[in-house]
Amino acid sequence: HDVKCEKNKTCFSKCALIKILKVWQVLPLGLCISAAPLPAGSCLSDNDPLVQPDGFLSAISRQALLSALKDVSLVFHCASPAPSSDDRLLFERVNIRGTQTVIQACLDAGVQKLVLTSSASVVFEGTDVKNGKEDLPYAKKPIDYYTQTKIEQEKLVLEACNKPKGFLTVAIRPHGIFGPRDPQLVPTLVDAARQGKMKFIIGDGTNLVDFTYVENVVHGHILAAEHLRADSPICGKPYHITNDEPIRFWDFMSEVLVGLGYPAPRFHLPYTLVYGLALLLLLLTWILRPVMSFKPTFTPMRVALAGTYHYYSCEHAKEHLGYKPVVSLKEGIARTVASYPHLRRGA
């Protein structure tokens, strides 16, 4: 993934190249791509745990990053374990200690700009958020390890912004990222449908939420990088990036399922009942962890995401970054569904 260039190199971690930032969108900016290196002597396939977001940043050292950051002016930090993980230590290694390593390496290498992929979940506590703005306080009672450590990660990056030293930072907060071939949302949804678990709607089904097509997330990152200057109001600030088209959560799920040939959910279950059962299952997993391990399908976080309002204002991103979604929600869903022919019903 190295492209030789005398200036304007941009350093991506492996997961950034795979999951979020698309090379074809970055190269027109005149930037070259330099993937952060694997530990010396490594020869790994893309399926090896070390090159996944969790293993990669857990294993890499500050010294290894320094060699990748030589002559680099801009870094996109996108690494994080999957939100569905329940491994607290892994989240701390990657999102907190890994981020500390990235920041220190950037400072030592003289990097000028750091753009973080954060999450709108940092202000979500499992209760309704309607048109939430960036001035909402961080969640005081984070609903899972992902949210807890993403809060700490964002604080580290934004507090590291130092104009006198010439190190500028900004955080992009996407929400509900989806897109072609993503290994999380659609495969999990289809797996649940095949097991007969997608017949039910949690709550009354009217709750509006934000989903964000991956190309719009990429667009938001690029705009942030372009606007990150010492005289810009975005320095040390977070920005919500979504499709700016709130949709009923279960309407979105139904469109994906029906597009792949599965029936849409029809039967309603009380939100408080399902949330209570999720809490009970979580307690059981903690109690039984010494003797057995199992992952419940519905965690408190998943139930909260399915049954509450959580959509966010992009007004600050529009004002300060000139942000406007480049792919509509309808088109994004169509592209996503088309990318999973192997997951269609009967395939």
Q: What's the confidence (pLDDT) of residue 57?
A: 53
Q: Which amino acid belongs to residue 345?
A: R
Q: What's the confidence (pLDDT) of residue 104?
A: 93
Q: Which domains does the chain show, CATH number per domain?
A: 9-175+211-244 (3.40.50.720)
- Is 252:210 a contact under the CB 8 Å cutoff? no
Q: What's the confidence (pLDDT) of residue 175?
A: 96
CA distance 117 to 335: 23
Helices (H), the chain: 14-15, 23-26, 53-59, 62-68, 88-91, 99-109, 145-159, 185-194, 214-227, 249-259, 271-288, 300-307, 315-321, 329-338
Q: What's the confidence (pLDDT) of residue 60?
A: 61
Residue tagged active-site, from 138, 145, 146, 271: 146
Backbone angles phi, psi at 204, to 5 degrees: -85, -5
CA distance 313 to 307: 20
Is residue 146 part of the annotated active site? The answer reads yes
Q: What's the confidence (pLDDT) of residue 86?
A: 78
Average pLDDT across each block of 10 residues of the chain; the chain has 347 residues. List them in order: 36 38 42 41 37 47 79 88 84 92 92 95 95 97 92 98 96 95 90 92 97 94 94 97 98 97 96 92 83 75 93 98 97 96 92
